[in-house]
Amino acid sequence: MRKALMGSAMALMMGTYAQADDLTVAYFPGWPTTHQVGEEKGWFNKAVGMDVQFREFDTGSAMAAAMLSGDVKVAYSMGVIPFVIAVTKGAPLDLVGVAVTYSENDNCVVRDESGIDSPLDLKGKTVGVPFGTVSHYKMLKTFENIGVDVGTMKVVDMAPPDIAAAMSRGDVDMGCGWEPALSRMLENGRLLISAKEQESWGLKVFDVIVVNREFANKNPEKVSAFLATVDQSTDFYQANKDQSIGIISKRAGISEEQTRSIMAKFGFPKRDEQLSDAWMGKDVPAFLKGVADVMVANGEMDKALDDYSPYVKADYYRNTTAP
C-alpha cells in the first residue's frame, strides 16, 4: 500500500509548476539555521527579486512531493535520503548546495528502563524512526557497524516529535531523529552510540539545498542570488552571534538557550567550502551513491543509479556574487 501511494505521489510530482511572482521555499520547523536572519531582514526578497515565502514541512519526503507538484521551487534543508529516493525515481530535482551539517544533532536514543544495556539487547524492541530520512540511513549504518540485525526489531515509521512523545509514554524503546525533538528524547534516555564514534565510521550527516530543475533552468540568476543570500546570512550570524540568536530563535519558535545549544553543533559551509572536494566538488556525489546502495541493500529502494553526480549542480554556487 505504501509503495502504491508513493507511486501515485511521484506521478503527481512530475507535473509542471505554474510560474508565479512568489518563490516558496521549504524548510523544517524548529530547525534554527542562519538563513532565518536573511528571512527576517528581507534579504532574500531583495536579492531574488521575488516574494520569498518560507513554508514549514515535517519531512524531506513531503518537501520533495511539494516541489515536484509545483507548490515549492526550492528546499532549503531537504534530507539526503528523500533527495536520493526522488532522483532515483527520475524526479527533476537538483542539489545546488549543502544547507547545514549536523552529526551531533541527529542520533538514536535508548529509553531509560527499556532494558537495553548493549546493542545485543535491541532484539525484539520497538524502534521509532522517520522512514526515508538521514536519521533512518544513519540508524541502518549504525546497526551495520555494531553488528545488529534490524530484522530482529519492530521498526515503526514516526516523525521525530511523535517519537519523543511516544518515548515519554514508554511506547517505544529507542527513537531516532533530529533536533529539537532529539533533546526531548534525551530527557527520557541516552544515546545508543555517540556522534563522534559514528563520524569515525565516515558517517556524514547533512541537509541539502534542492531546486526544481525547470525553475532553476529558467531562473539560474535567482538560484545563485538565493545561495549568495544564504552565505550573507551566515556571515552576519558569525559576526553578530547575540543579535542573530534572538532573530533565529524567534523564527524557529524555540528558546534562545536551545538555539545556542543546537547551533553550536551545526556547520554552515559557504561558497569556497561548498565547491571543495569535501562537499560538492567530490564527496557529495560519492556519498549520495553510498546512501543509495545502502537503501537498496536494506530493501528501501529497488535499485540505485550508477552515478549521482549529474544531480549535483555546483555552478549555481560557483556563479554567486556578493549581495
Query: Could you read off the pLDDT of 261-299 as tens digits, one per residue?
Result: 989 989 999 999 999 998 999 989 989 998 899 888 878
Grid cell for residue 310:
549529474
Q: Is 24 in the same domain as 71?
A: yes
Whether 8 and 143 share a structural domain: no
On whether both 114 and 98 belong to a single domain, the answer is no
Q: How many domains does the chain have?
A: 2
Beta bridge partners of 74: 25, 211
- For 149-168, the pLDDT digits (tens) are 999 999 999 999 999 999 99
Q: Tell me, yes or no, whether 109 and 254 share the same domain.
A: no
> Is it the case that residue 209 has pLDDT exceeding 60?
yes
Q: Is residue 78 part of a domain?
A: yes
Q: Which residue has the higher pLDDT, 13 or 133?
A: 133
Total count of residues recorded for the chain: 323
List pLDDT tens digits, range 99-126.
999 888 899 999 999 999 988 899 999 9
CA distances to 44, 73, 312 from 17, rounded to whole Å, are: 21, 8, 21
Q: Are residues 75 and 221 in the same domain?
A: yes
Spell out where the chain has E strands.
22-27, 51-56, 74-79, 93-101, 106-111, 126-129, 154-157, 174-178, 189-191, 206-212
- Domain endpoint, select from 200, 217, 241: 200
> From the centroid of its chain, how far is CA 219?
24
Sorted by sequence, the CB contacts under 8 Å of residue 157 that are 6+ apart come out as 129, 130, 131
Q: Which three cell numbers stand for residue 79?
A: 534530507
Dihedral sign from CA coordinates of 7, 12, 16, 22: negative
Classify the C-alpha dihedral 288-275-25-29 as positive or negative: positive
Higher pLDDT, 322 or 136: 136
> Is residue 109 domain-shared with residue 221, that is, in the same domain?
no
- DSSP 3-state percent helix, strand, coil across the chain (nearest 5): 50, 20, 30
Indicate if 220 and 307 belong to the same structural domain: yes
d(CA 125, CA 207): 29
Q: Is residue 323 part of a domain?
A: no
- The DSSP 8-state label assigned to residue 133 in this structure reads S
Report the half-sphere exposure of 204 (CA within 13 A, side-chain side): 20
pLDDT score at 81: 87
Task: Indicate whether 300 belongs to any domain.
Answer: yes
pLDDT at 120: 87
Is 151 within the bounds of a domain? yes
Domain that holds residue 183: 104-200
* Domain co-membership, 190 together with 222: no
pLDDT for 5: 37
**Alpha carbon distance 139, 193 (integer Å):** 10
Distance CA 280, CA 284 (A): 5
Query: Does one domain contain both 135 and 175?
Result: yes
pLDDT band at 197 (very low <50, low <70, confident <90, very high): confident
The rounded radius of gyration (Å) of the Cα atoms in the chain is: 19
State the amino acid at position 255 in one-letter form. S
Is 20 inside a domain boundary? yes
pLDDT at 20 over 60: no
Cβ partners under 8 Å of residue 294, min gap 6:
137, 140, 141, 144
CA distances from 172 to 40, 156, 186 (A): 38, 9, 13
CATH number at residue 185: 3.40.190.10
pTM, two decimals, is 0.75
Is pLDDT larger for residue 265 or for residue 187? 187
Q: Do 84 and 159 share a domain, yes or no? A: no
Domain boundary among 135, 169, 200: 200
pLDDT at 3: 39
Q: Please check whether residues 144 and 220 belong to one and the same domain.
A: no
Query: What are the pLDDT digits (tens) for 65-77?
Result: 999 888 899 999 9
Dist CA 136 CA 175 (whole Å):
10
